[in-house]
Structure formats: C-alpha cells, structure tokens
Structure 1
C-alpha cells in the first residue's frame, strides 16, 4: 500500500443577486461545478452555500465541501482551507470520509454576509477559495518490474544459483550481498575498472557502498543477473535504482528502467520522477515528465507534491510560460 496525496483547488465566484434571491427560500442552496480529484478517478468534489431558516440556526449561513466517491469506498482524509479574502474570512478543517459526504463550515449570519462593511462582495460578486489535500492509501505501488528475457538474462539466472560468488557488495550498515566479479564487470565499467586496477576493493574482494541502502543495493545486484530475482519494487525504490545504475554506468538496466518509469508517469508521481531524472541524468524521463507537467499546468489540472519539485526546474518551467513561440 502506498499513501498518496492529491491536491484539490477551486475558486467559486458567486453573484450577489443570486445569493440574495435565495435567502428567503427554505431549503434553497447554491453549488459550484463539480471537479474530479486527481488519482481518484471516481471522486468528485464541489462547494455549496446554504442559508438556514430552521430554528435554532435561522439566519445563519453555511458553506459545504461535498465529496462523491460512491463507486470506490476508499477511506480519504481531507485537509482543506476555505477563504474569502476580501472579508478576511478563513477556515481550516480536517475531515475523513468514505463514499458520499459533506464537510460543513460555519459561515456568517445572513445579515453579516450582506453587510457592505464586511466586504464579502466586490463589484457585486463574492469569491470563495478552496485549497487542500486529499490523502489516501492505494494498492499498486508494487508495480511488476520490466521484463526482457534474453539468452544473456537466462545465463545470468544460471550464474545466480551458483555458490562460487567471490565478491561482496556491502553497505554502511554492515550488510552485504555476494556476486561474481565477471557479472559485475560485464554490467558496469565502474566495477570493471575497479577489478583491473588492483584497487583495495579488488584485493579484498569487497566494496562498501555508503550512499545507498542495502535494500536498493541488493535489488540492483540481483537485477544484474536477472529481472525475475526482483519481481516487484516500489516507485521510490525504482527511482533509487535509477540513481544507482547511473552512478555505476549500468547502461542497459538504466535504459530499461527509464523506459519503464516513463510508462507509469501520472499526476501522483510526476514531480518525484522529475527529481529522480535530474539526479540520475535520465534525459528521456526528464523530457516526458516535463511535457506531462507542462500539459497539466496549461490545463489547470492538479499535480501532487509540486512543492517538492526541484526549484531550478520549476523556475525554468515558470520562465517558459512567458516565452512566445513563432513557427
């Protein structure tokens, strides 16, 4: 299970006359358009406003954030803010729901709402802003690793089951995994030079890798033998593997993984994959992520974790937004 975060945002502009007309009509309310949350294909959200006419709340107004996830019973936690900047109104709320639900926000009294001194309306319109995050758990983070069963791969699988591995790849925590020098040398020019130069690691038949966890190192070494030895990895592990393959010049596995990551780009991971591409010198992945993000921004579609995006990359995208194109 992976915990995902999906942004929600909405700016609802309401004409003053529409609110004024409904204030004396029992049960009447206004609502905005409905929008789908990214990563939750079945979840829609929209805002509504209602004047209460029943005791003991007669004369009060309420704002509601409605959710409709009726097809999917995923448990969702919503953290959101609703504000009317002109009236200096701000309300934050945490709300958990499943299926259909409505989060209620106490607003002002009807008299206060239409009081010109409160400045809810500017030029005859009130603008209510919503921004927030939906958090939920989702299956499918363990995506099956790419498959490319060639004769060389099958040879690697045969070598893996042998007990004559003479070299150990260890991590800073003291854990290690045994491997054949010839397999590592065939996969990585870095390891090949290490073995040919008579370095300390070659003589001691051991190398310590300090900048990757054992979990990542173990998977990377196994992948040098055969993809079936690592049937599933998380997206986070895949991005770390991409960095490992880049550092040790394991070109074929890096290319295969880069193609795989391109195939799984979506709104939930595009920013993280962009950062991984920048760190790992993966230009094809970077370009595809850039195209994806650019499209989402142009269409005003939500993007998860945009605040985590590499700042220089984000600034470059922002500058390009003001660049005219002549064809």
Structure 2
C-alpha cells in the first residue's frame, strides 16, 4: 500500500459590513474603552465574521479628550476583534474598507501578512494600539474624525458610518501520514481531468494561439470560465466552428490557464518571474477566473520594484483589484521620489492621469475643504 504525507494550512475567507448609526452621536455617548487606552473609545459589532470555530466583530474607534469629549483632530480607528472564547490562537490576514458615498473615495487598508490573534484581542488600524517600538498607532492615516463628521466629505451615509471587513482565517492545519485509500476524491478528479486534457480524448474545441493549438473540452471550459460559457452557450462563431482564436496572448499563459481550469493547479514556473505572472494574470482576468487572478496577484505584490510599480498600478486599476491597487499605492507612497524618476511613472502620467489622484490621495490626503469641493463637483 502506498503511503503519502500531507501537510498544509486550511484557510476560510469571510466578510461583513458594520454600520454605525448616528455616528457623531454614538461617538459622543459611547463609554467603552478601546484596548485599555483611557483616551480611546470604541464600538464593536456582534460576531458577523465567522470562520468555523472563530468569530470576529468589526470595531470603530476614536480618541477623547481628558474631559471625555470627542477629539476630532485625531484619526479614526478601525479594526477587528476576536469574540469567541476558544483558547487557541488563530492566524488571520485582514482588509478593511471605509465606505464613502463617492465610490472613488473609498479608503481600503490591507495587511496581507498572517498574524496570530488570541481570544478578545484585536488587529487593525486604531490609536488604541501600540506599535512594536511602544509608540501609539496613528489610526487611519489622513482621516481625522473632523473629516468623518463633515457631511460634505462623504464618509457619513445620511448619519451612519459604514465599514466593510474581509478576513482570511487559518482554521486548521493538516499534518500527518495517510494511506492512498484515504486520498481526496477531489484530487482524484483533478488528476483524471489533467489526464483527459493531456490525452485530448473526446476534445471538441480547439484554442488557437499563434501557431499553436490546444485541444480542450468546451463543457469543462464553460463550467470554469463565464467567458467560455458565454461563447459555447450562445450562437457565436466559436460555438459553430468549435474554434477559439485568442489574440494578444502567448501560448504559455493560455496553456497555464487551461491547466488551472482543469485542475485548480498553477505551475510554479508560470509564476517564477513578473513577465510570466503578469501574462497569466492578464489571461485569468480576460476569462474571468478570480481564483487564478488572486494567486497571480499574491505573487506579484511580493516582488515590487521602484522601476515597475507604476506599471503594476495601471494593471491593478485595469483588472479592478482593490487589494492589488492598495498594495501598489502603499509601495509608491514609501518610495515616491524614486518612483517619480522612472520612465514607468512618466508613462503612467501620460496614459492614465486619473491615477495621479489616487496617488495624491495616499501621499497627501485632501483637506476637508478640498473634499467638500470635490464632493460637490461630482454630484
């Protein structure tokens, strides 16, 4: 009997929205101390983020003066708090978005690194947190409470403040030795589908990329990609001819895309450098395969360079990935002078001047007056 070893983390994603009604009044009347800091207050939702045995609430925090009145000059705080009583620590990565009435002004904060969190502890961006060197966290940089309270700035939705949180939570860790008789049925299906792809048996459609042709099965492509599904279910040329001519992509990323559609696996060679990963990302975006888009983005953001980050920002904006875009903007903010000196930045200014607004928003958030003027002009 064949024996195999299996190990790895199991991750569950969850998301939720917290709406704080009559936010200015809530700030003025709430007495709950945030993270033991007597000059900070917070309000926490119920357990709206659930990942198996772990539950989390979304929290909004703010500063108060010694007399207990709201300190409007200090930044707003947002974080998640673990609410379950499970004694085990779990690991999470986090994204929080503060919603603005004007979509272009949503503020997204990302921490893609997995950190441990124990019961009744919190992670995020609030002045009630301590930094590693014992300094206080600044909260949401560029978002003082005075701006939040200003109705014209767009952060209040006719009174309520709205915050969305997305968590990736490690819920278990597989380790040990198992027999081949206990092998996952899902893995067996993927192996069978990969063999079917490699053999070309019963293939009924050809993907033509340049001089190469990939034999495939329309029912599988259509089940995994909404774009292929539309091609083969509607009276389109591709359905009639059983051929799909793919332009502006090379054969290698298309082959990697097709393999992913059959098996859920992407070869590491397709992610080994930015050119390969970007080509695969473009293919995954074009054929609406979000799992593969996310896998490519996770790799690309770990290899940012001053010379090319402006190009990555263009790509992030094109595919509509908030996480990818936020990571680009964060890197540009930290290396602004060097980035501005690159050819990629010059091209971005010429081709996508609208993205300069996003860069400026991160580097130098607009004053309350500027936000009011922009808000009025957009209505």
Give the structure-2-normalised TM-score: 0.40
Give the structure-1-normalised TM-score: 0.46
